[in-house]
Structure 1
Amino acid sequence: MPPLVSFFLRRLATALPVLALVLAGSFLLLEAASGDAVDSYVARSGSMDAEQIAQLRQEWGLDQGPAHRFKAYASALARGDLGWSTAFERPVASVILERLPITLLLMGVATALAFFLGSLLGVVAGANPGSFRDRFLSTSSLALYAVPGFWLGLVLIVIFAVDLRWLPIGGIESVASGKTGLARIGDIGAHLILPVASLAMVYLALYLRLMRDRMSEIWRDPFVNALKARGLSRGRITWRHVARNAVLPVVTMLGLQAAAMLGGSVVVESVFAIPGFGRLAAEAVARRDTPLLLGVILCSAITVIIVNLVVDLAYGKLDPRVRIGR
């Protein structure tokens, strides 16, 4: 069997039990919470008599016990059916497919910006440990990492959207603008600048510090002294040898931070009124929409698994000692 196929099969065998545990644990936690979708619906719609409430519970399948409902959900999921959203009165799959691309775009751009810019600044700081440049970047990154993402988003809105009026306040694109093609792409890009910046800056500081600290350790390794003895320039040693070895833990952190980035999107999308996946999760919790929330959690878990799979593949390219399939 080819090593790559064997690698994917092992990852799949590991992922399926993880997804099952995530769904079962999430369902139990939701059952432990007070209230359900009917209680939320009654609170929003106004008064309903007991007979109407009982009829609504029967229509939504909430009159059955937790074990029966989880068995029915798992059976439907095995057939590819994510269920029916009581909040949106639509299939869960259609609601998720409508919101997920927006969050993937936001998270993908923010992750790429944080990783590449943070790693680059980490190399700049770690090239000369103890220098003024190193101390300035390290202190700045620490201060940036301590700033809450929602507060940073609000400050960016006040400065660039309210005072300077350079960028839109929120949303994913202008309402009823009629723009198409490149004009619409530019409009979406302008709306994404502030949320991407607020989401990426915190993680940028993390990657910067991680890259800088690892490089400062590698400079003391014996092989670096051997490279200096061979007459290699400091710039070549920095980029070809020290930075390449230091980037491995940064790539590992990239996979670990995928779940945190999804969690951060909940706050950022709420601040900037972006109709994305994170905001959908908040709406599902507020309306006690269990099928929708389980669908959101399932898709989030799959996204994190895929990101970590890509990270494992990248390890095989960055580190010659790692071989896919072994």
Structure 2
Amino acid sequence: MKTLSFLVSRLGKAVLVVLGVVIVNFMLIRMAPGDPAAVLAGESGSSDPAYVEQLRQQFGLDQPVYVQLATYLKGIVQLDLGYSYRERLPVLDLILDRLPATLLLMACAFVFAITLGVLFGIVASRSRYQGKRPWLDSVLMSGALLIYATPQFWLALLAIIYFSLHLGWLPPFGMETVAAGFTGWARVKDIAAHLVLPTLSLGCFFMAVYARLTRASMLEVLGMDFIKTARAKGVPVGEIIRHHALRNALLPVVTFAGIQLGQMAGGAVLTETVFGWPGIGRLMFDALIQRDYQLLLGVFLVTSTMVVVFNLLTDLVYRFIDPRIQDA
């Protein structure tokens, strides 16, 4: 019952957060300079004011802002995110077509970052705690700091130049080989090869953060009294690390990982643009350049919902790792 009450409470707050984000995004988009109807008319080779006004009426841009907002909110309730006047397709269809690619990239980057980041943090803290090979701690943390300080787009470009152009090991752009006609495992391998560089580019920054955070949290836990008591009782260091220190040290890492999942969705915009990855990040970039406001609002809504869902899942994982929270 406590878990159910927790879920209901969090879902209610999540709905309010998403609603607030939708309203703020809608108002900011409407306050942006430029008229999408005039842009669309100019690209079609017509500057006739009558044609521009016709486009404004067609897309509801001639209505007062509060009427447009009410219409948009009503459409969201009905799972209608509007119509893209540039792509000539419903916004929801465009997003659903691109969303799997973004989720695949984010999942791979997150697993890569959290796995290697926590592993490097454990290795670094253990070497510092035992006093054996202290140079390993310095090397790992210096490397993490270097990766953290490197701009993401520069790292992506370096990866393309070295691994694709110089060595020729991996494809530089896209999600799969164009017109290759692969099926089955051949297509899976082709997508996996295209996925390596975007995953490394997006995940390395977060891996560095998790490594440093895990190391700091592990060293803090290893200095506590219950760890000293376990050492005094003769418990091996490996068992202390795995069964006593790691679970407590993971609490801040899990909290931070949940927050950064939302940042990873934002970072995917740059990564998808550099690597030509056909996800919603690239879709949002194209919509911004083309002033496709309905598509922009739809992408903002989906990414905001993703961030809220990720934070809800983080709360659930946090309660699983630390059962004391369930009684709080």
Q: Secondary structure at the match of 1:128?
A: helix
Letter in 1 for 2:110: T
> Contact 1:37 / 1:86 at 8 angstroms: preserved in 2?
no
Could you tell me which residue of structure 1 aligns to residue 117 of structure 2? 118
Contact 1:122 1:208 in 2 (8 A): yes
Match of 2:51 in 1: 52
Question: Residues 72-151 of structure 1 correspond to what in structure 2 (within 5 A)?
Answer: 72-129=71-128, 131-151=134-154
User: Which deviations, in whole Å up to 9, do the C-alpha atoms of 1:86-139 show, x marking residues without a partner?
Assistant: 121111110000001100000011011101110011000011327111111111
Aligned equivalent of 2:253: 250
Greater shift, 52-61 or 207-216, is seen at 52-61
**Partner residue in 1 for 2:291:** 288
Q: Which residue of 2 aligns with 1:224?
A: 227
Q: Does the aligned pair in 2 maintain the 1:173–1:188 contact within 8 Å?
A: yes
Q: What amino acid maps onto 2:7 in structure 1?
A: F
- Alpha-carbon distance in 1 for matches of 2:63, 2:17: 27
What secondary structure, in the 3-state scheme, does the structure 2 residue paired with 1:274 have? coil
- Bigger relative contact order, structure 1 or 2, given CA contacts below 8 A and separation 6+? 1
2:15 paired residue number? 16
Task: Please say if residues 36 and 289 of structure 1, whose CA atoms lie closer than 8 Å, have aligned partners that are also in contact.
Answer: no
Amino acid paired to 2:10: R
List per-residue Cα deviations over 1:255-303 (Å, max 9, x = no partner). 1101210111000000001111101111121122222111111111111
TM-score, normalised by the number of residues in structure 2? 0.95
Correspondence list, 1:17-32, <5 A:
17-32=16-31
Corresponding letter in the other structure for 2:207: L
**Which runs of 5 or more residues in structure 2 are unaligned?**
none
Farther-moved stretch of structure 1 (313-322 vs 103-112):
313-322
- Once the two structures are overlaid, the 10-residue window that deviates more, 214-223 or 44-53, is 44-53
Q: Find out whether 1:163 has 2:166 as its counterpart.
A: yes
Measured after TM superposition, the shift of residue 70 of structure 1 is: 0.8
Q: Does 1:213 pair with 2:212?
A: no
Structure 2 CA distance, aligned partners of 1:313 and 1:174? 39
Residues 51-99 of structure 1 deviation map (CA, whole Å, 9 limit, x = unaligned): 1111111111111121111111111212221111112111111000000
Q: How many residues align?
A: 324
| C-alpha contact (below 8 Å) 2:41/2:51 kept by paired residues | no
| Conservation of the 8 A alpha-carbon contact between 2:3 and 2:326 | no
Q: CA RMSD in A?
A: 1.3
Kept in 2: contact 1:96–1:277 (CA 8 A)? yes
Deviation at 1:48, TM superposition (A): 2.2
Query: Percent identity at matched positions?
Result: 42
Which residue of 1 is the match for residue 175 of structure 2?
172
Find the partner of 2:282 among 270, 279, 284. Answer: 279
Alignment partner of 1:199 out of 173, 178, 202: 202
- The Cα of 1:231 is off from its aligned counterpart by 0.4
| Length-normalised TM-score, structure 1 | 0.96
Gapped runs of 5+ residues in structure 1?
A: none
Q: What letter corresponds to residue 51 of structure 1 in structure 2?
A: A
